[in-house]
Amino acid sequence: MRCAWSWRRDVAEDATQEILIKAVTHLGSFEARSKFTTWLHRIAVNHPLNVRKSEMEEKAMTFTDMGKSLDSVMDADLPDEKTLPVTTKLIVEEARLGCITAMLMCLDRRQRLAFILGEVMGVDSESASAALDVTPANFRQLLSRARQDLYQFMNGKCGLVNTSNPCRCARKASGFMREGWLDPTNLQFTKDRVAGVEKAAPEHLQELEAIDRQHAMLYREQPWLAGPDIASRLRELLESTGFAKN
What pLDDT, on a 0 to 100 scale, did the predictor assign at position 38? 77
What pLDDT, on a 0 to 100 scale, did the predictor assign at position 211? 42
What pLDDT, on a 0 to 100 scale, did the predictor assign at position 241? 54
Where in the chain are the domains? 60-226
What pLDDT, on a 0 to 100 scale, did the predictor assign at position 8? 65
What pLDDT, on a 0 to 100 scale, did the predictor assign at position 18? 78
What pLDDT, on a 0 to 100 scale, did the predictor assign at position 22? 77
* Grouped pLDDT means (10 residues each) for the chain, 246 residues: 53 73 76 75 74 58 92 94 92 91 88 88 86 91 93 92 93 94 88 52 46 62 55 59 51
What pLDDT, on a 0 to 100 scale, did the predictor assign at position 205? 44
3-class secondary structure per residue, the chain: CCCCCCCCHHHHHHHHHHHHHHHHHCHHHCCCCCCHHHHHHHHHHHHHHHCCCCHHHHCCCCHHHHHHHHHHCCCCCCCCHHHCCCCHHHHHHHHHHHHHHHHHHCCCHHHHHHHHHHHHCCCCHHHHHHHHCCCHHHHHHHHHHHHHHHHHHHHHHECCCCCCCCECHHHHHHHHHHHCCCCCCCCCCCCCEEEEHHHHCHHHCHHHHHCCCHHHHHHHCCEEECCCCCHHHHHHHHHHCCCCCC
